[in-house]
Amino acid sequence: MRPAAVRGHLDALILAVLEDGPRHGYAIIEALQARSGGALDLPTGTVYPALRRLERAALLSGAWSSVDGRERRTYTLTRAGKHALARQRAEWTEFTSVVGAVLRPAGGAS
Amino acid sequence: MTVASHLAALDGALLGPRRIRRCMIAEARAGLHDAVDAYRDGGVSAERAEELAVRDFGTVGEVAPSYQAELTARQGRTAAVLYAIVFPTMLFGWDLLWSTGAVTWPRGPAPHLVTALAGLQDVVTVVVAVAAITLLAVTFRRSVPPERLTVAIGLTGAIGAPLCGGISIAMNLVAARSTAHLIMTSPAAAAAFATSALVLVVLIWQSVRTLRVARAAQAH
């Protein structure tokens, strides 16, 4: 998938990946790639500033911790982050259903 | 290209608060080392693993804009916090000095021009403080582009600080003998003048820095 198309949704994708528990940067990148079946092809270096941006907006909380003997920054979804994720999910569902309905080839259905 | 040289190149392309910049580079380093480990676990040589991890990370041209945008936003927020604290503190600090009698006018009532300038000083300080607090609140909104917001914050300081400083200097030049007398005779007044001058320098320095960081973001 084209990086430009993904960029606008990166925030929502990151929030979704953190829904089931805290993760550090590289684990978030791995989860994004795994859940997209490897189709998300964006420079991994753009994920770290996105995490900081979400942290600044108080949707994530980040803290350094030692994982497997290496210092890593772990991110947790905040209450505001959970609300933002729910909202973006609803918006996305509405968007895809509306655009999908219009894009569907005409005359296909009876 | 190695992880270390790639991160050094990225660091060199960025401008912004040093602490957060180092923190972000350290985080990228940890992530890149994780990626190298993952490639090595897959049976790739150490050298090739570094190359692949760096390739996945993206070129400096690809990732620097997002890093710089974040640094610019942080610089803007830091400056807004500084202004939101310093301007009201200066206003109340000087009011307190005059009202408690810690600093008093040496001979008789203050000249009209000094009183008028003092009134203007209060108005300008309140306007700048309100602007800084409003802009600080806006930094918490995700929808506002950080570059323009940081420019607005930098300009608030770059205009507000020299304006307040200029009015103070004018006030003290109008009554130069009284000011000199105050500084000579009252240690509290001397300390207050020195602190104010220092604060003014810090404010102007921070404003210039904020505008430079905002310009770096626009250049990317």
In the predicted structure, residue B97 carries a pLDDT above the cut 90:
no
CA distance, residue A45 to nearest chain B CA (Å):
4
Query: Cα–Cα distance between B201 and B82 in angstroms, integer?
Result: 13
User: Can you give the pLDDT at residue A16?
Assistant: 96
User: Can you give the pLDDT at residue B6?
Assistant: 96
Instruction: List, for residues B141-165, the tens digit of each pLDDT value.
Output: 877 888 999 999 999 999 999 999 9
Using a CB–CB cutoff of 8 Å, tell me whether A10 touches chain B: no
Q: What phi, psi does A19 have (nearest 5°)? A: -60, -35
CA distance, residue B147 to nearest chain A CA (Å):
13
CA distance, residue B148 to nearest chain A CA (Å):
16
**Cα angle value A16/A17/A23 (rounded, 5°):** 135
Nearest to A30 by CA among B42, B68, B5: B42
A62 to chain B: closest CA residue:
B27
Query: Cα–Cα distance between B28 and A33 in angstroms, integer?
Result: 18
A7-11, A30-34, B172-176, B188-192 — which is least confidently predicted?
A: A7-11
Residue with tokens 């693993």: B49
Beta pairing partners, B136 = none
Instruction: List, for residues B194-211, the tens digit of each pLDDT value.
Output: 999 999 999 999 999 999
Using a CB–CB cutoff of 8 Å, tell me whether B83 touches chain A: no
What residues of B are in contact with residue A50 (Cβ under 8 Å)? 66
CATH class for the domain made up of A3-100: mainly alpha
Which of residues 1 through 40 in chain B touch A, CB cutoff 8 A?
Answer: 10, 20, 23-24, 26-28, 30-31, 33-35, 38
| Segment B208-215 mean pLDDT | 95
The number of beta carbons lying within 10 Å of the beta carbon of residue A109 is 6
ipTM of the complex: 0.87
User: Can you give the pLDDT at residue A2?
Assistant: 63
Q: pTM here?
A: 0.87
Instruction: List, for residues A53-100, the tens digit of each pLDDT value.
Output: 999 989 999 999 987 788 899 999 999 999 999 999 999 999 999 999
Instruction: List, for residues B32-89, the tens digit of each pLDDT value.
Output: 999 999 999 999 999 999 999 999 999 999 999 999 999 999 999 999 999 999 999 9
Among B66, B77, B149, which would you mutate to test the A interface (most chain A Cβ atoms within 10 Å of its Cβ)?
A: B66
